[in-house]
Amino acid sequence: MYPPPHPTRRTLLRGALGLSTAAALTACGADSTTALTSGDVTLALWTHDPGYEAFFEKGIPEADRLTDFRYHLKVTRAGAPDVVTKLLAQAVAGRGTPDLIGFEIGSFPRMLRGDIAERLLYDLTDDIAAVPGLKDDLLPARTAPFSKDGRVYAFDSDTPMVVYFYRDDLFDRYNMPKNTATWEEFAEVGARVHRDHGASMCVVSTVGSDAGQVVQSFQMLLYQRGGAFFDADQNLVLDSPEAEEVLRFLCDGLRTGFVIDISDYYGAAMQTALKQGRVIGLPMAIWYKNYGLMPNVPEQNGRWRVKALPRFEGGGAVTAAAGGTGFGVIKDKANTRAARDFLFKTWLTHEGQVRRFTETGYLPTRRSVYDDPRLSAARDDFCGGQRLFPLYRELLPQVPPFHQSPDQSILYDVLAGNLLRAYHGDLSPRQALKQTAADFRDQAGR
């Protein structure tokens, strides 16, 4: 028997090299997919909005109580488009994807291209059906934007109704009626107010660097009027009499001064216009109070009010929807089940939806929650103590669905350019819409 020889330096180096290579290869391998069914779990949450981070953090105790898991969150924040880009990059790498992810509504169409949604996202449809009454309780208008072929891939954060924000004090000072029934009457009043006081009552965004904002100004009124960009089958339906009517209405408003073009809803130009009283009202989604008005003009606290949009004489509803963020779960991961349970027990519970409104201002996506007396009782200081929720409840049945298409960014690019040309008078509304449809057909599907 010989004693085992001492390892030489070369042997040790080889061993170390082998171990480090093995470790590196292991690290490069795919995530473990042995599903966790209970116990401690750390969910990787990706979002663009710190408000959601805070909401989910606060929801942990309730989720712990209602599930078999004890949750911890590891949050990554990035810009809304970057969240999707990073997700796809990590998916290609085969590791490092999140468990729970928030898609800003304008970024979600990228997931609709090809079979990306089916490959990456957990299909929530069967789980919705498994909860008694949930399917009928969820607003179809808010599941539609995050669905594909009838399958739901994310739950919206909000029912972002479009309402009319206005300066109550200036409406009084200028002797303006607050209950004007139609946009057409409203525009007449607006032209007079602009002539006499230099103020405008409607805004269109002309920020070239953000096609989404330019389109949104038009989109809100188009959907209110009953038009749409895409139907449920993702076909372009923009070129319609409703669209022409709305675009003509905005173009005419720009000529009379009833409508003002502002480069950016959130930036310095809008802040200046609000502070100078050049904008005394505008149609916008309800979240604009928190993200546009309050940060830009905190000194106008108590002077703003909210009301339903006037109707168009030709028809349509008194609201629309604009914006939203859908939270989805990444499929085939160890934490998929835990993430799904977490989403259901924080995002979709009655208490969770009430809390979401009180903490973030986002409206519930379940019909039944609108009857909660706590929500109706809430008063809004920025809006002079106005009780906003009864108005929202009244508008709820009129919220139109919003269908998305993988070619949506193409539409936004071409539509934004043609809207600006129509606003400038370079194209008639009819020509702008025809041109948009033609440009879209040229670019879509390449």
Partner 1 sequence: MSTTTTAGPHRARSSWAPYLFISPFYLLYVLFMLVPIAVSLWLSLTEWVGLGTPHWVGLRNYRLLATDISFHRALGNTAVFVLVAVCVVVPLALLIAQALNTRGLRVRDLWRTAYFVPVVVSPILVALIFGLVFDRQFGLANSVLRALFGTGGVDWLGDPGWARVSIALVMLWRWTGYLTVFFLAGLQNVPRELYEAAALDGAGRLRTFTTVTLPALKPVTAFVVVTSFIGAAQIFEEPYLLTGGGPAESTLSVTMFIYRAAFQRQQFGYAAAAAVVLFVLVFGLSQLVNRLLGIGRATS
Catalog residues that contact partner 1 under the rule CB under 8 A: 81, 85, 88, 91-92, 110, 113-116, 119-120, 206-211, 214, 260-264, 267-269, 272-273, 278, 406-407, 409-410, 413, 416-418, 420-421, 424, 439, 442-443, 446
Tokens of 73: 């969150």
How many Å is the Cα radius of gyration of the chain? 25
**Least CB distance to partner 1 at residue 115 (A):** 6
Distance of CA 349 to the CA centre of its chain: 20
Judge contact between 135 and 143, C-beta under 8 A: no
Nearer to partner 1, 250 or 260 (CB): 260
Judge contact between 123 and 153, C-beta under 8 A: yes
**Least CB distance to partner 1 at residue 85 (A):** 6
Nearer to partner 1, 243 or 420 (CB): 420
Nearer to partner 1, 204 or 395 (CB): 204
CA–CA gap between residue 137 and residue 358 (Å, rounded)? 20
In a 10 Å sphere around its CB, with 0-12 CB exposed, 13-18 middle and 19+ buried, how is residue 398 labelled?
middle
CA–CA gap between residue 178 and residue 219 (Å, rounded)? 24
**Least CB distance to partner 1 at residue 138 (A):** 28
Closest by Cα among 140, 134, 138 to 364: 138
Q: What single-letter DSSP state applies at residue 205? A: E
CA–CA gap between residue 324 and residue 401 (Å, rounded)? 12
Nearer to partner 1, 46 or 71 (CB): 46
Judge contact between 72 and 41, C-beta under 8 A: yes
Angle, vertex CA 310, rays to CA 195 and CA 420, nearest 5: 60
Nearer to partner 1, 206 or 336 (CB): 206
Nearer to partner 1, 157 or 418 (CB): 418
**Least CB distance to partner 1 at residue 230 (A):** 15
Is residue 363 helix, strand or coil?
Answer: coil
Judge contact between 37 and 68, C-beta under 8 A: yes
Nearer to partner 1, 234 or 349 (CB): 234
**Least CB distance to partner 1 at residue 204 (A):** 11
Look-up of token digits 């609108």 = 370
Nearer to partner 1, 239 or 264 (CB): 264
**Least CB distance to partner 1 at residue 397 (A):** 35
**Least CB distance to partner 1 at residue 111 (A):** 9
CA–CA gap between residue 73 and residue 75 (Å, rounded)? 6
**Least CB distance to partner 1 at residue 322 (A):** 19
Nearer to partner 1, 421 or 434 (CB): 421
Nearer to partner 1, 387 or 421 (CB): 421
Judge contact between 158 and 184, C-beta under 8 A: no
Nearer to partner 1, 88 or 189 (CB): 88
**Least CB distance to partner 1 at residue 152 (A):** 20
Q: Phi, psi at residue 382, to the nearest 5°?
A: -60, -30
CA–CA gap between residue 215 and residue 227 (Å, rounded)? 14
**Least CB distance to partner 1 at residue 224 (A):** 25
Judge contact between 151 and 331, C-beta under 8 A: no
Q: What is the DSSP string of 393-441?
A: HHHGGGPPP----TTHHHHHHHHHHHHHHHHHTSS-HHHHHHHHHHHHH
Nearer to partner 1, 117 or 338 (CB): 117
Tokens of 424: 């400038």
**Least CB distance to partner 1 at residue 395 (A):** 31
Work out whether the CA dihedral 161, 82, 147, 64 comes out positive or negative: negative
**Least CB distance to partner 1 at residue 3 (A):** 37
Angle, vertex CA 184, rays to CA 182 and CA 186, nearest 5: 70
